[in-house]
Amino acid sequence: MDRIAEFLFETMLLKRVRRTGYQFLGPGKESVAEHTFGVMCIAWTLARLAPEADEGRLLAMCLIHDLPEARMGDLNHVQKKYVTANEKMAVAHMTRGLPFGPDIQVLLDEFNARESLEAQLAHDADQLAFLLDLKSLSDMGYAAPDKWAGHVKTRLQTAAGIKLSESIAKTEWDSWWFKLFIDSDGKEK
């Protein structure tokens, strides 16, 4: 049990590991753990839009997709041009001695291969989380996110992910809140 406790302490580091790509987007920022929560919510939703997917496998894949970043940090696109992270080694060291360690590597391999429906949905959930952040920043008046959204959309692989991205593009980030604030007669509630 001590080894499992150590592993759980290590996973909690993701609350403090910042996603580095946000430095190019102005005010946006989040930790890897915050990102993972968003990806999980999106994956749960995608599982309802693609009921043929194995929901448990999809959610497990999303939960651990950035786990190696507890050891490697989050490398953005520019950094990856100069630094090569050894994800396999990070995962092997991170999961050494865990009874479920091999399960983590199998899920990460599947996620990275993007061949199964679950891996494709997990990948889409990862991209849609970024797309939601971009749309929110754009709706708040920041210009940089508009340059990136089109590139993110081209990475989507599933019909459910593409359809959801279209809805995200035409929905204002605060429309859900504004509907609560203004009643159907246009009066403040």
CA distances from 165 to 95, 128, 138 (A): 35, 7, 15
C-alpha span between 121 and 34 (Å, rounded): 19
Of 121, 124, 131, 113, the closest CA to residue 173 belongs to 131
Domain total in the chain: 1
What's the pLDDT tens digit per position in 54-106? 999 999 999 999 999 999 999 888 888 999 999 999 999 999 999 999 999 99
CATH of the domain at 51: 1.10.3210.10
Domain that holds residue 56: 2-181
Query: pTM here?
Result: 0.91
Does a structural domain hold residue 116?
yes
Does a structural domain hold residue 30?
yes
Does a structural domain hold residue 28?
yes
What's the pLDDT tens digit per position in 8-58? 999 999 999 999 887 777 676 899 999 999 999 999 999 999 999 999 999
Does a structural domain hold residue 100?
yes
Does a structural domain hold residue 43?
yes
